[in-house]
Chains A and B, each alone.
Chain A
Amino acid sequence: MFNLTRIAKRVAFALPIVAWSLVPIAVAAGPGVPTCGDDADAWLLKSMRRSFSSHVTAVIIQRDPAGEDQHQTVRVERSKDGKVHHVVTQPLRRQGTESVDDGKRLRVYLPDQNVMIDQASPHLQEDDAEARWKLARKNYDLKFGTSVKIAGRDTHCIVASPHDDRMDTRRYYVDRKTGYPLRMETSSPEGGKRIIYDTREIQFPSEIDPERFEMKPVGGARVLSYDPPQSLKAPDAKRKLGFAPILPPNLPMGFKVQDMQLTTSDRWRALAVRISDGLVKATVYQWLSSNDVKIRSMEMGSSGTVGDVRLLVVSEMSNDIRRDLLRAFTRSGEIGTLQPAGWCFQPIDPAQDLVLTGWEPYFSPMQLTVLTANKSHSGTVICAGP
């Protein structure tokens, strides 16, 4: 019997590899491209953009999802035209997990299950680097930090200090000549530091074997193929999912909604609301609770329910931040179910986290007493309308 739970675990292990596969895509131009001068903002944008100018082979270590202080070693090959190949070489329990992204399809092979996941390449999505960069500049102070040498390469250290003190400070070490990201570290507000990935060896070869970017199922590997999520507009979402999507007008910590996508499988049909603060990304899944599916306990997920809609926030951020984001969505959903027809409530004062919690009729039919609250107090406001 095909054990989806075990496959899910293996996919969890494969995620960082795939995530890393996307980092090189963010590589800015190679040697010979105009430099960014002394502007940390410009270096960050250079590293966020999807541009390809040289082949790359590298060996990296990367935070292991199975353990806070454990790392896995991954061999990375990237061609100039954006194709990426990764193989996990350590630890032994992950060895041989492999992914190939040829720019059209992304294939992940899980050797223990002899399964190949075949789905659309993330590279087919529109490059939103500039929009995210603008958002990052709003939410973070970007400046140069102390540079170090990594894998024999001189680097620029870009320190992104968040305006919201709940968020982590992020340090990106990028190659001084090419803009290639060599190391990423985070520091939590409590002072805990984590190395998310680090480069042990790197080369920029002039040639790379094209066969490195081909993966075909062999030895009876079972192939699981999936369609990519489709972008949706709010009215379409309601029609296709059976509920109005919950989209708070304001999110905490400077997060913004980037996109809404419909993701489907034979078990599940959900709306995936992609949100970001420019540097960190999260997805808020929404689906009808009548769709009887189980959320296994996830280290990286926080879930809730509003009326008939189930919500799940998935992100690498801390539990507290995920819960804050979830709270913003659940509040927005509750207001949506409370508000009388024709009225459209907005948060009263997002700066003070003051939101609507309910409403009552006032003396006039054209007025409402709106109940508001934040963490420290509650109150009422008289609103006219609609």
Chain B
Amino acid sequence: MNCKAVQARLSAYLDKELPGNEHTAVRAHVFDCASCREEMDSLATIKQMLGRCAAPEPAECFEERLIANVMRQVEPPRKQWNFQFRPAFTFAGIAACSMVATLLVLQFVLKADSAPVTQTTPDRSIAFDIQRDQIYSVGTDPMGGIPVINVQSDPNR
């Protein structure tokens, strides 16, 4: 990484926002390059000075007003129902009741069939069990690195 590339990344480097490899590369470059080190020190000083500036205080009652505004937008408008007994409503009501009843019966009937299906075709992947076991396993070796497992989609499934 050359000086130009390093200096473009110095701000992100100081804020620890760079990905691992870039972070390491910038650090190595700054270690050797006096010019970039000077640039970095100067940038760090500016950041520190800016960091010392007091944050603007919100106006009084800001919080209450904000919450009230949000709540006004979140609460759905209440509908005024003007329910009148009409033949159309009667028909729709009967149709809805019969549909619900049918669904309930179907659910009851299918319930008996669904159980064996679950038993014969369970999720046989052990990825979850391995990851859970690894969580337990790392406890004995805290400095031994991080046993990261990244499950990919199974091409056979």
Q: Measuring CB to CB, which residues of chain A are less than 8 angstroms from any residue of chain B? A: 4-5, 7-9, 11-12, 14-16, 18-20, 22-26, 44, 47-48, 50, 61-63, 65-66, 68-71, 106, 108, 117, 119-123, 125-126, 128, 132, 148, 170, 172, 181, 184-186, 192-198, 200, 226, 228-229, 258-259, 263, 265, 267-268, 270, 272, 274, 276, 278-283, 285, 292-301, 312, 314-317
Inter-subunit contact B126/A268 (CB<8 Å): yes
Distance in Å: Cβ of B83 to nearest Cβ of chain A: 33
Number of B residues near A (Cβ < 8 Å) is 44
Closest to A186 in B: B145
Chain B residues near A70 (CB, 8 Å)? 19
A299 touching B21 in the complex, CB below 8 Å, given contacts A4-B125, A119-B135: no
Partner of B145, one of A198, A298, A316: A316
A196 to B143, CA, bound (A): 11
Q: Is the CB of B24 within 8 A of A195?
A: yes
State whether the Cβ of B85 lies closer than 8 Å to any Cβ in chain A. Answer: no
Please pick, from B21, B24, B125, B148, the residue contacting A16 in the complex, using a CB distance under 8 A.
B148
Q: Which residue on chain A has the smallest CB distance to residue B31? A: A146
B110 to chain A: closest CB distance in Å? 14
Q: Which residues of the partner chain A approach B124 to less than 8 Å between Cβ atoms? A: 267, 292-294
CB distance A194 to B135 under 8 Å? Answer: no
Nearest CB of A to B97, in Å: 28
Give Cα distance in the complex from A216 to B56, angstroms: 37
| Contact B138–A281 (Cβ < 8 Å) | yes
Residue of A nearest to B148 (CB): A65
Residues in chain B near residue A279, CB distance under 8 A = 143-145
Q: A283 to chain B: closest CB distance in Å?
A: 6
Interface flag for B127 (CB, 8 Å): yes
Interface centre among A63, A106, A123, A296 (most CB of B within 10 A): A296
- Cβ–Cβ contact A301 & B149, under 8 A: yes
**14 A-B residue pairings within 8 Å (CB atoms):** A19-B142, A22-B141, A48-B142, A61-B16, A63-B20, A69-B21, A122-B135, A267-B125, A294-B125, A294-B126, A295-B125, A295-B127, A298-B127, A298-B151
**CA A132 – CA B140 in complex, angstroms?**
10
Contact assessment for B135 and A195 in the assembled complex, using a CB-CB cutoff below 8 Å: no
Specify which chain A residues have a CB less than 8 angstroms from the CB of B102 in the assembled complex.
none
**Least distance between B136 CB and chain A CB atoms (Å):** 5
Contact between A198 and B139, CB atoms less than 8 A apart: no
CB distance from B115 to the nearest CB of A (A): 13
B45 within 8 A of partner (CB): no
Are B130 and A4 in touch, CB under 8 angstroms?
Answer: no
**B80 on interface, CB distance cutoff 8 Å:** no
Q: Which residues of B lie under 8 Å from residue A274 when comparing CB positions?
A: 137, 140
Interface residue B129 (Cβ < 8 Å from any Cβ of A): yes
Chain A residues whose C-beta falls within 8 Å of the C-beta of B22 in the assembled complex: 69
Please indicate the chain A residues that have their CB under 8 angstroms from the CB of B123 in the complex: 4-5, 267
Hey, what's the 0/1 contact readout for B17-40 against A, CB within 8 Å counting as 1?
001111110010000000000000
For the residues of A in contact with B, the DSSP-based class is mixed
Q: In the complex, what residues of B have CB within 8 A of residue A18's CB?
A: 135, 138
Q: Is B133 an interface residue (CB 8 A)?
A: yes
Does B79 touch A at the CB level, under 8 Å?
no
**Contact assessment for B143 and A23 in the assembled complex, using a CB-CB cutoff below 8 Å:** yes
Kindly report which residue of chain B lies nearest to residue A59, judged by CB atoms: B16
Q: Complex formed: what's the CA distance from A271 to B16 in Å? A: 41
Question: A356 to B27, alpha carbons, bound, how many Å?
Answer: 49
Which residues of chain A are near B145, meaning CB under 8 Å? Answer: 170, 184, 186, 196, 279-281, 316-317
Contact residues in A for B151 (Cβ distance below 8 Å): 5, 8-9, 12, 296, 298
Kindly provide the distance from the CB of A380 to the nearest chain B CB, expressed in whole angstroms.
Answer: 40
Q: What residues of chain A lie closer than 8 Å to B21, measured between beta carbons?
A: 69, 192-194
Assembly CA distance A123 to B139 (angstroms): 6
When chains A and B are docked, how far (Å) is the Cα of A219 from the Cα of B67? 23
CB contact between A122 and one of B24, B127, B137, B144 (< 8 Å): that residue: B137
User: Cβ of B156 < 8 Å from any Cβ of A?
Assistant: yes
Complex Cα spacing A297 to B149, Å: 10
Chain A CB within 8 A of B128 CB: yes
Q: Indicate whether B152 reaches chain A with its CB closer than 8 angstroms.
A: yes
**B131 in the interface, Cβ–Cβ < 8 Å?**
yes
Closest CB of chain A to B13's CB: distance in Å? 12
* Of the residues A20, A121, A298, contact of B146 by C-beta under 8 Å: A20
Q: Does B147 contact A (CB under 8 A)?
A: yes
B78 part of interface (Cβ distance < 8 Å): no
B136 touches A316 (CB 8 A): no
Inter-chain contact B149/A65, CB cutoff 8 Å: yes
Within the complex, the shortest CB–CB distance from B141 to chain A, in Å, comes to 4
Contact B130 A285 (CB under 8 A): yes
Q: Is B87 an interface residue (CB 8 A)?
A: no
| Contacts known (A16-B146, A71-B19); A272 close to B141, Cβ less than 8 A | no
- Are the CB atoms of B152 and A296 closer together than 8 Å? yes
Contact across chains for B150 and A66 when beta carbons are under 8 A apart? yes
